[in-house]
Structure 1
């Protein structure tokens, strides 16, 4: 019974990973596509490959997700908690994807874990939630906004006497590199979250000890994220690439380079599961504000902010409802 439950949880986790890929594909490539630096299909292939590579670069974030957010009970009850968390995250991902809102798959998963644990009267490690989720959730968009604006101002000053057509062509080439770096960071951050949940399920089910990540978990998580990325996320891509601000190649490059730096720093230095969505969106807002404040469509940005605020509680509520629906069937 428990082995079957573990297999079900792993399959659902990979399903979440897949939705994460097509939901967040826009994070890496929306700016490059909107500035015509890359063709859409070429950008998706590149993002899928770099997501795969990024997933193999570390496991620190996976350990945070697997052991630093909740303490799930062992046995079937614990597996139901993990399953309900995944269902809650998937539901919120699909809702926000349908409306084209670039919400955070990472925070949807965290909210799902917390909501399912609370519904099961389990233990939530609130110190871990605050230090590894809430504080980075607040700081990373602020850092992305300010740093991207500063990077853009530096670029404007350095290339102030350059020829516009030559600069545009050069920054389109540069965006190929910055988009690849962004996709690598997305793989580094987001594949690890699924790895952490799968290992949590294995530990709860009694099939693994400790929170070291087995190689086959890395391979499956990387593959599912990469496949989802290749499937694309066109609705959200339009929001990030065009509805917030009409980006040009220099601003697209500055936003991607800044967001990539934030992703690498939080993963390698702080092991914090931050949102790639929030990071790139705030970076886009930062470079857009250097053009003129009115160039940013703040109404669209406000709708995105509302989705950010609602993600953890709504995914948590969905997960709690899923737990209450599933638990009587297996209890």
Structure 2
């Protein structure tokens, strides 16, 4: 029924913007946890800065949106219900992990959600395995790269300032960390807001409102605003897990973490690779922590984070699969 189709399209747009909002407060920690834990910025100032720069970053490019919208499945092979169920799977999993303070990946969640809904609709054969391979490999290797870059950058900084008094070093890097936190917040916007842009554009193309996969300006603005508002709401639980419980950081460590992570994320976004900002920032924190000593890392927290990483794609896919099955009698396929 045409009425059902337009209702579902509206639901997809609303759900995608809600996902962006949740992504904002869920992933606030990615940009500001380290500068809050080192007291380079107050929580209020850090969140305000992150919200603004998340919005700015979201408006820069749409390469990641294109990868998400075209790399998993063709828009012609999905329905509005598939997209809606996929987004709902991601939202529900994000809320579960937020409640327990686990910095799981919103990127993994939306990819798993779309996969689960597509499988429920038409089986495994519809999925683009070549595109998924590219996406999954980028999500797997980016945290490995984050550990290496974080460790290497920290070693270089320690060597460069080996003759300086620790107090003077931290005083200078506390100021520099404001810049690195801003860099991280901007890079977060270039990566994460684009996932919802890709989902909404996929739904618009599937419905026939746009002729080709090109992100409309209103979609970019809407997703950027939703991400910024979500960031402004703050993700206090995850800020505590990432910024305080995982590794105890000084300003020089925070600067290193944010700069290294932002570099990895911006590099990936520039070529359309949808890396997980959560994975990258936590892996660079791990790399910096290891550079101090192995015991500097809270390995119990690391284990909880790893479990969330491993579970996210299958869990969000399962929730999306069930959501599709539950809504099919109401909306039809």
TM-score class normalised by the smaller sequence:
over 0.9
CA distance in 2, matches of 1:304, 1:285: 11
Q: Deviations over 1:40-82 (max 9, x none)?
A: 01000000000000011100000011111113456xx700000
| Helix, strand or coil at the partner of 1:88 | helix
- Residue of 112, 127, 131 corresponding to 1:128: 131
CA distance in 2, matches of 1:212, 1:206: 13
CA distance in 2, matches of 1:19, 1:157: 40
1:126 CA drift (Å):
1.2
Q: Structure 2 length as normaliser, TM-score?
A: 0.97
| Structure 1: gaps (5+ residues) | none
1:7 CA drift (Å):
1.3
1:210 CA drift (Å):
1.1
CA distance in 2, matches of 1:209, 1:170: 53
CA distance in 2, matches of 1:245, 1:9: 38
> What's the counterpart of residue 296 of structure 2?
295
1:171 CA drift (Å):
0.5
User: When the two structures are aligned, how many residues end up with a matched partner?
Assistant: 327
> What's the counterpart of residue 157 of structure 2?
155
Q: Structure 1 length as normaliser, TM-score?
A: 0.97
User: What is the Cα-based RMSD across aligned positions, in Å?
Assistant: 1.0
| Helix, strand or coil at the partner of 1:290 | helix
Would the aligned equivalents of 2:69 and 2:75 in 1 still touch at CA under 8 Å? no
> What's the counterpart of residue 142 of structure 2?
140
> What's the counterpart of residue 323 of structure 1?
324
State whether structure 2 residue 63 is matched by structure 1 residue 60: yes
1:6 CA drift (Å):
1.1
> What's the counterpart of residue 183 of structure 1?
185
Q: Aligned ranges for residues 92-111 of structure 1 at < 5 Å?
A: 92-111=93-112
> What's the counterpart of residue 306 of structure 1?
307
Would the aligned equivalents of 2:75 and 2:205 in 1 still touch at CA under 8 Å? no
CA distance in 2, matches of 1:306, 1:71: 31
CA distance in 2, matches of 1:109, 1:161: 47
- Residue of 200, 203, 222 corresponding to 2:224: 222
| Structure 2: gaps (5+ residues) | none
Hey, which bits of structure 1, 4+ residues long, moved more than 3 A? none
